[in-house]
Chains A and B, each alone.
Chain A
Amino acid sequence: MTSGPLSDFHGEGSVFAAWALRRAGVMLWLTSGMAVSAIVLLIGMLGLLCWLAFAGDAFGAAAGHFPGALAVLSQGEPPYTAEALFSAIVGTITVTLLMTLLVAPLGILVAVYLHVYARQHWYTDLVRIAIHNLAGVPSIIYGVFGLGFFVYWVGGGIDELFFSDSLPRATFGTPGILWAAITLALLTLPTVIVSIEEGLLRLPASLREGSFALGATRFETVVGVLLPATMTSVVTGVILAVARATGEVAPLMLVGVVKYAPSLPVSIEAPFIHLEQKFMHLGYLVYDLTLHAPAGNGRVALIAVVALSLVLVTMSLTTFAAVLRGRFRYQYAQEGLL
């Protein structure tokens, strides 16, 4: 061995250093093993769901494949019928759409306010930190708030004002799809605000300044320049919100989801969308089927199918949002503005 810095590692006298070099290899192996097992976990869970849904029943019961799941629906007891599955799908879509209708404009409003209108003080910073944190508050807390504030307080108030003739029976003072949608909107609002504000921050200052220089008012700048330019971040935020909302069950259990709703929240009758009704939800259906449905006969397959569809919806939405976000960054990097 020649002398020099490297000889410390290869010289026979330095056992510890040689061991340290090998340790590098060990840690490389260990950490890569963890990374691979994470991917194995992902593929394993997806595969398990597919296997449970399409290949065989976990309990080896008869008809435990996908046709079996359909058979459960065609001959099952009242809460577990094809109509119920349809009702759950409609309920999920309706509540998510209502939530989107609420959360998109509100998110834009608050983000634009924070970025353009509010003076940048320590308290705007505080509000920002609070919003960031609210995105991490457990969803059940929003459910508790929704129940106490919207259902009992606001709903009770509406009942007393407008539906006093039918009062012992609550109309809006009881959990329903409107309260569920508002609660979900509140739950996802921080995510949307953060996403849109990040998008606005990434816009080059020249866009805003150029618009002002041409004599546009603040409102015109926001509506005509800033929002169109950051549309991808708006869409990304809303998609992330929808992805999060489809998976949430816990808050809905408090503010309006039920095991079985005899009628859909949307119909061709007068108000078309019945905001005071209780509704069914796919996520809750998974919970309810897992806990209460009679065992065997494709129950597991049915649960797996519903769960798989939920996971796939969330996955594709998340991927779409990631792609959009990537393109957005790329676009401004291309123009040399970022």
Chain B
Amino acid sequence: MANKRLIIDVISAGMIRVASVMILLVILGVFAQIAFTALPLFESPSSSVDVLPATRAGPAAELKVTQDSGANDAGSLPGLIDDHRLALSKIDPAAVPEPKRGSWLDARDTTIEQVHLKAENDGLVPSVLTRYFIPAGIQAMSNISLSRHFVVLDRAGVIHVYRLGRSQARTTFTEEFEVSDINRVDWLDESTFALYSHEEQRLVRSVKALTNTLPLADLFSFRQYEGYPQPTLTWQPRVVDGAESKYSLVPLLWGTMSAALFSLMLALPVAMGAAIYVGYYMPPVFREAIKPMIEMIAAFPGVVIAGIAMLWLAPRLHHALAECIGIVLTVPIIVALSGLFLNQYFQTQPGSYFSKRLPMVVVLVLVIAIYTGAKLGESVEGLFFEDSVVLWFERYYGLSVSYFNGVLVGIALGIAVFPTIFSLAEEAIFSTPKGAATGSLALGASPWQSFIDGVLPVAAPGIVAAIMLGLSRAIGETMILLLLSGNTPIQSSNPLEGMRSVAATLAIELPEAGVDSTHYRVLFFSALALFALTFLINTCAQLLKRRWRRRYGVVA
């Protein structure tokens, strides 16, 4: 009997160990999986080129095309300007026969050593964007694939795979070819190209090249794109008419950070004020009722906050911007002034008759302050801004204003991050050892002086941790940005324009990106960046909290 019990114990212990370690591995493997999907993006294609057997022959029609174009009349080839220059014009699938997407060159001429990439800029004079030097001379060259790559086989038997618009080859790999044998290179699909022998009319070899790769710098630095006057940072992954996909993460990161900043600007003062009042001034009896109530704001899911903001706030924000600014500027001043006034004539120290009825008075003062602020904003707008602040700025400063803008996002996101910051900061303030405040009070300092000099230094790590966690919440929030930011990937510090965040981009674009395409991997990389960023912020916050806990021995 005892034996059976022991066996059950040993077996269950083993099972629990194995199962939990597996679960933990899956949880912790989230990061690894995203990384493993994203990081092949930066792989150098040459290292993993997979040369397929020649059995995968191209269709007969393609071989026929080779023969047709084999006529050595170089001048008549589309895109060949003279002996030394080649123009790769903007791709127009309709203008070119089906197997050839874009212009190409069957180059046997030994004088050709360079490929000049030119872009037609909406009918303007083509300008040289990039030139490719092929010192050994061009033996054969492919057309441009859907993923904007082309292949050059030089006379030394080296295959170069270029990505359009780049100044030097990313991919150079050598194969032992009978060079004289091969005179045509063409794409079979997005990532496989074939080498054909003209004389024997056969496919010599097909090569799988990894074209779904990008250098890391492309995601973060200025890039020259076709048809753009100067290098830009642009996010435009899905483009029509075969134009170049533009993957710059900078606008997305900018959007994410600016939205987070706007939200913190609004949420931080309110959350900190509320945390100080509830954690420091308020009697603990009230605190137990008030704190969970304020934390209830966390029960509003992001999508609901976004829905309310979009349906109710957005149509009003344009007209009520002046009122809003008026309220934001006036309320603290009026509240502070009335505090000064009441303090002068009434006894407001903790425990007095007046302070027990403080909440009611505060509500009254707030209502008056909000009303005054709104009226003040309205009249200032009428007097100085020709009845509309928005239109005035638009007219005289050329400030562009969009319906979905940073202010709207800031308000909604601020509401979403408010409970996080409030709850943790309040916890930090409340659980500082009481001696810090009472000692200071007993020595004659005012309550606020005691707070600043006694409580705040002790609670500071916890408060910083709270702000960091709020920031990481703001960075990761998806639905609010998705509904309210307008999802325009522009980079602007104007709070009245829209933005596009990393999280919202993931939600919109990932379901439609082809598995393992460049787009898919770039999106996974942006998810990885988001993950790493929030994880880093959270870890710093955790470590701060742990240190703080250890030093003061408080359980929070």
Residues of A within 8 A of B (CB): 5-6, 8-9, 20-42, 45, 48-49, 52, 58-59, 106, 109-110, 112-114, 117, 127, 129-134, 136-145, 147-149, 152, 175, 186, 189-190, 217-220, 243, 246-250, 253-254, 283-284, 286-287, 289-291, 300, 303, 307, 310-311, 314-315, 318-319, 322
Tell me what chain B mostly uses at the interface: helix, strand, loop, or mixed.
helix
Known contacts A30-B336, A189-B23, A253-B507; A35/B16 CB under 8 A: no
Indicate if B321 sits at the interface (CB-CB under 8 A): no
Residues of chain A within 8 A of B342, CB atoms compared: 25, 29
Contact of B312 among A58, A136, A247, A319 (CB under 8 A): A58
Least CB distance, A303 to chain B, in whole angstroms:
6
CB of A220 within 8 A of CB of B303, answer no
Which positions 528-547 of chain B face chain A at CB distance < 8 Å? Answer: 530-531, 534-535, 538-539, 542-543
Chain A residues with Cβ under 8 A from B359's Cβ? 32, 36
The CA-CA distance from A311 to B297 in the complex, in Å, is: 10
B273 at interface (Cβ–Cβ under 8 A)? yes
Which residues of chain A are near B277, meaning CB under 8 Å? 28, 31-32, 34-35
Give the distance to chain B from A216, nearest Cβ to Cβ, in Å. 9
| B304, chain A: closest CB distance, angstroms | 4
In the complex, A243→B358 CA distance in Å? 34
In the complex, the answer to whether B24 meets A110 with C-beta atoms within 8 Å is: yes
Structural contact, B469 and A32, CB atoms closer than 8 A: no
- Asked whether B539 lies within 8 Å of A38 as measured between CB atoms, the reply is no
Q: How far is the CB of A252 from chain B (nearest CB, A)?
A: 10
B477 within 8 A of A: yes
- CB-based contact B542/A129 at 8 Å: yes
Q: Which of B116-124, B195-203, B446-454 contacts A (4 or more CB under 8 A)?
A: B446-454
Minimum CB–CB distance for A26 against chain B, Å:
5
Q: Determine if B307 and A219 form an interchain contact, defined as CB atoms under 8 angstroms apart.
A: no
Binary contact track B509-535/A, C-beta < 8 Å → 1, others 0: 011000100000001100100110011
The residue of chain B having its C-beta at the shortest distance from the C-beta of A247 within the complex is B301
The range of chain B's interface size is: 35 or more
**A21, A58, A290, A291 — which one has the most chain B CB atoms within 10 A of its CB?**
A290
Within 8 Å CB of B475, what residues of A? 138
- Rounded to whole Å, the gap between the CB of B552 and the closest CB of chain A is 19
Residue of B6, B30, B295, B305 ringed by the most chain A CB atoms within 10 A: B30
A32, A112, A189, A247 interface centre (most CB from chain B within 10 Å): A32
Known: A20-B448, A131-B27. 17 other contacts (CB 8 A): A28-B281, A28-B358, A33-B331, A38-B418, A40-B363, A45-B305, A117-B13, A127-B28, A132-B542, A136-B469, A145-B33, A147-B511, A175-B511, A246-B301, A250-B507, A311-B304, A318-B295
User: How many angstroms between the C-alpha atoms of A49 and B312 in the bound complex?
Assistant: 10
Q: Kindly report which residue of chain B lies nearest to residue A137, judged by CB atoms.
A: B534
Ordered by A's residue number, 25 sampled pairs between the chains whose C-beta atoms are within 8 Å are A8-B444, A31-B280, A33-B365, A33-B366, A34-B269, A34-B277, A35-B277, A36-B359, A37-B366, A38-B274, A40-B363, A41-B418, A110-B20, A117-B16, A130-B27, A136-B538, A138-B531, A148-B33, A189-B23, A219-B12, A247-B304, A250-B482, A253-B507, A289-B307, A311-B304
B339–A30 CB distance below 8 A:
yes
B239 at the interface (CB under 8 A from A): no
Which residues of B (439-475) have their CB < 8 Å from a CB of A? Answer: 444, 446-449, 451, 469, 472-473, 475
Question: Quick one: which of A58, A112, A186, A300 contacts B30, CB cutoff 8 A?
Answer: A186
The answer to whether B524 touches A144 (Cβ under 8 A) is yes
Contact check, B527 vs A140: say whether CB atoms are below 8 A apart: yes
Q: Write out the residue numbers on chain B whose beta carbons fall within 8 Å of the beta carbon of A30.
A: 273, 332, 335-336, 339
In the complex, chain B residues whose CB is within 8 Å of the CB of A20? 446, 448-449
B511: chain A residues within 8 A (beta carbon): 147, 175, 253-254
| Any A CB within 8 A of the CB of B293 | yes
Query: Once the chains bind, are A114 and B20 in contact (CB under 8 Å)?
Result: yes
Closest to B531 in A: A141
Question: Do B303 and A287 have beta carbons less than 8 Å apart?
Answer: yes
The 3 A-B pairs with the shortest beta carbon distances in the complex, nearest first, are: A138-B476, A34-B273, A247-B301
B273–A31 touching, CB < 8 Å = yes
Name the residue on A nearest B301 (C-beta): A247
Q: How far is the CA of A249 from the CA of B302 in the complex (A)?
A: 9
In the complex, are the beta carbons of A31 and B303 less than 8 A apart? no
Contact assessment for B274 and A307 in the assembled complex, using a CB-CB cutoff below 8 Å: no
CB pair A286–B307 under 8 Å, yes or no, is yes
Cβ contact within 8 Å between B20 and A29: no
Hey, which chain B residues are within 8 Å of A247, CB to CB? 299-304
Confirm or deny: B34 has a beta carbon within 8 angstroms of a beta carbon on chain A: yes
B274 touches A34 (CB 8 A): yes
- Contact check, A39 vs B6: say whether CB atoms are below 8 A apart: no
Contact of A22 among B298, B302, B343, B422 (CB under 8 A): B343
Query: Is the CB–CB distance between A133 and B483 below 8 Å?
Result: no
Q: Is B362 an interface residue (CB 8 A)?
A: yes
